[in-house]
Amino acid sequence: MSSSTAAPPSQSDAPSQPETPPAPAAPDAPARRAGAHLSELKSPHLGDFHVEPRVLLISALAVPVGAVAALVAAGLLKLIALITNLSFLGRLAFGTATPADTTHRWLLLIMPVAGGLIIGLMARYGSEKIRGHGMPEAIESILVGGSRVQPRVAALKPASAAISIGTGGPFGAEGPIIMTGGAIGSLLAQFLRVTTDERKALLVAGSAAGMAATFNAPLASILLAVELLLFEWRPRSYLPVAVAAVTATLVRGPLLGTKPLFGGAHVPSHIDLPAYGLCLVSGAVAGLLALGATALVYFSEDTFAKLRIHWMWWPAIGGLIIGVGGLFEPRALGVGYDVIDQLLTGHATVGLIVGILVVKTLIWGLSLGSGTSGGVLAPMFMVGGALGAAESLVFPHVSPGFWALVSLAGVLGGVMRSPLTGIVFCLELTHEMNALIPMVITASAAYLLSVVLLKRSVLTEKIARRGLHLTREYSVDPLELHLVRQLETPAGVTFRSDRTGGEITALLRAAHDAGDPEELLAQRLYPVLGTDGSLVGVVTRGTLIHGDPADTTPLGELAAPAVTAYPDETLRLLANRMAEHEVTRLLVVTREEQPQVEGIISLRHLLTARRIDVHEEHHVERVLSLRRKRAATVVVAGGPAGG
């Protein structure tokens, strides 16, 4: 809050104009107070961003968060490989293995059920927070949990994901590592004296770091944090996230390598124009697939909720679904990075394409609704790649894996409704810059179809079902675009501190009885000035008009401390100050060495700024027209003049 001392423009008690907001001013033509110079309108206190020195501290803390998240991500991938080797090959090894490598087909049916039983027990007797694919849980902890994550979740979530995926679950490791990385950042923050927003920044920094380390995709991880987790685009949150993602990527190098995760599609630098048109078709199909996959997940969730058995057993039933699907297409089980690589390089057979497109989609959607543990990105990589590979059978040839790559971007844009993340993800996974424009077209088309036809995504529907509302439309607050000086009302009525409360009460009542409230009674907040012109405090009209006319208490003793504002402050800052002090009106004072009371700003002025924004959003008008208008003739003193 600013200083509460000010000198008045005058010490007169004469009434002034009513306190009513002026007509809305266009944002590019602010209403200036009388006599203001241009130099006074340029405030050194305003800027494009608001940055406090503490952002350096939080960014520094993001370094160990990113490093630890990278180590956990690498450990999770090794643990998944170990469990896969044990479950399907019967060997103690950390090398790459897939469920399809087993020589005992009955394991494809049994192991997913066994994994589901273990996860159900871990969720019931460990923490129910390990259920699900990680991202909704991270979002919920940010929205309503104060960005606090329980310590046991940090240990149980990756362990449950490793068991789920290692025993054949058709999921990805990114969701659990996003939740686990977020838990690392949150736990560090919980041991420190930080604000909730700073704790959120560290949580999201850990999530982005885990994802960057898993996929070697730092920029896509930062974009995912912005589009899905941060709910803001400010230096205080972006900088820690960027630091953590870069740190995790650097730590990942010696552990998992620095090469792109998947082989390239060898996209040529020149692509024929008809192929760009077909990218729209591919995006539309990807958007429809995203709708179908989302509907399948929540159909499954609704079906499991109707079962009359404890939810602890649901992952085992989901495991049975996975096992049956594995009997038809074993390569649909597990993370399937090897299958994604075949799809993106054009080496997949028709049987593999159809099997992945049908079996992977079904077992992923149906089993995820059981509440097991696993992510959604890797399955969408595989399904999106298979969809594009199927399209390549009928679309003109561009390069091996071209349609699989652009379709993958489309499915990500439609399922996650984060098109920028999907595009950059595909670029970082394959380093195929020549596919940038086709991926932009495909991801944007899928995104358009998804947001028009589906209210919630697979990542946010679960949050909505828990009674929470989440909006992903980010825009600048209209109150941030308007300054106090544009809408303030002059404060024409002031009272001296040596006058009694009863005297002013009688004055106000007389004005009321005279039926002339447009003068003295129009102002609802009165500055109380000392004999030297300094601001003593404020009194409200309600306090005075309901007072006792016989009260001899000086106004200086009745006055409350003034909550003030400056003409060059934004209305958003004032809205926060009103909320902090629980008031609806503030005095506006100048920033001079001897401040003067300049005006009053109230809640109605804030609503005026909102009204301007609503008008700009919904008012339809034609600015230019091809019709010629006749020049108007205006008669002024001395003769006609062109108007």
- Report the candidate in 575, 569, 559, 619 with the shortest Cα–Cα distance to residue 591: 569
CA pair distance 126, 114, nearest whole angstrom? 18
What tokens appear for 587 in the block? 């005095």
Residue 555: is its pLDDT beyond 70?
yes
Q: Which pLDDT value is given to residue 351?
A: 92
pLDDT category, 303, cuts 50, 70, 90? very high
Cβ atoms of residues 333 and 171 within 8 Å: no
Partner residues linked to 639 by β-bridges: 636
Q: Which CATH class is domain 55-256?
A: mainly alpha
Q: What are phi and psi of 318, to 5 degrees?
A: -60, -40
| Superfamily of domain covering 1-27+482-643 | CBS-domain (3.10.580.10)
Q: Which pLDDT value is given to residue 550?
A: 84
| Fold match, 1-27+482-643 / 273-465 | no
- Report the candidate in 76, 169, 82 with the shortest Cα–Cα distance to residue 118: 169
- Report the candidate in 512, 304, 280 with the shortest Cα–Cα distance to residue 413: 280
Mean pLDDT of the chain: 83
Q: Which pLDDT value is given to residue 44?
A: 60
Range with the poorest average pLDDT among 47-51, 269-273, 628-632: 628-632
**Tens digit of pLDDT for each residue in 591-607?**
877 778 888 999 988 88
**Tens digit of pLDDT for each residue in 284-293?**
999 999 888 8
CA pair distance 23, 45, nearest whole angstrom? 26
**What is the per-residue DSSP string for 54-87?**
HHHHHHHHHHHHHHHHHHHHHHHHHHHHHHHIII
Residue 1: is its pLDDT beyond 70?
no
What tokens appear for 114 in the block? 């066994």
Burial class (CB in 10 A: 0-12, 13-18, 19+), 628: exposed
pLDDT category, 639, cuts 50, 70, 90? very low
Residue 643: is its pLDDT beyond 50?
no
- Bigger pLDDT: 36 vs 195: 195
pLDDT category, 27, cuts 50, 70, 90? very low
Place of tokens 């600013």: 2
Q: Which pLDDT value is given to residue 79?
A: 92
How far from the centroid of its chain's Cα atoms is residue 303's Cα? 30
Burial class (CB in 10 A: 0-12, 13-18, 19+), 563: buried
pLDDT category, 32, cuts 50, 70, 90? very low
Residue 29: is its pLDDT beyond 60?
no
Q: Please, what is the angle between helix 151-166 and helix 54-84, to 10°?
A: 30
Q: What is the mean pLDDT of residues 516-534?
A: 78
Cβ atoms of residues 162 and 80 within 8 Å: yes
Range with the poorest average pLDDT among 264-268, 417-421, 430-434, 465-469: 465-469
What tokens appear for 332 in the block? 């649909």
Neighbours of 538 (CB within 10 A): 26
H or E, element range at 222: helix 218-224
- Tell me the C-alpha to C-alpha distance, in Å, between residue 583 and each of 168, 291, 443, 563, 601: 59, 47, 47, 8, 11
Cβ atoms of residues 148 and 190 within 8 Å: yes
Handedness of CA 258, 263, 266, 267 (dihedral sign): negative
**Tens digit of pLDDT for each residue in 215-237?**
899 999 999 888 888 888 889 88
**Tens digit of pLDDT for each residue in 141-192?**
777 777 787 778 878 888 888 899 999 988 887 777 888 888 899 889 999 9
Could you tell me if residue 374 is left (phi over 0), alpha (psi between -120 and 50 degrees) or otherwise beta?
Answer: left
CA pair distance 87, 99, nearest whole angstrom? 8
Residue-range domain boundaries for the chain:
1-27+482-643, 55-256, 273-465
**CATH no., domain 273-465:** 1.10.3080.10
Residue 16: is its pLDDT beyond 60?
no
> In a 3-state reduction of DSSP, which class is residue 312?
helix
Q: Which pLDDT value is given to residue 120?
A: 92
What are the b/e assignments for 94-121, b being 16+ CB within 10 Å? eeebbbbebeeeebbbbbbbbbbbbbbe
Residue 516: is its pLDDT beyond 70?
no
Q: Which pLDDT value is given to residue 22?
A: 40
**What is the per-residue DSSP string for 94-153?**
-S---GGG-S-THHHHHHHHHHHHHHHHHHHHT-GGGSB-SHHHHHHHHHTSTT---HHH
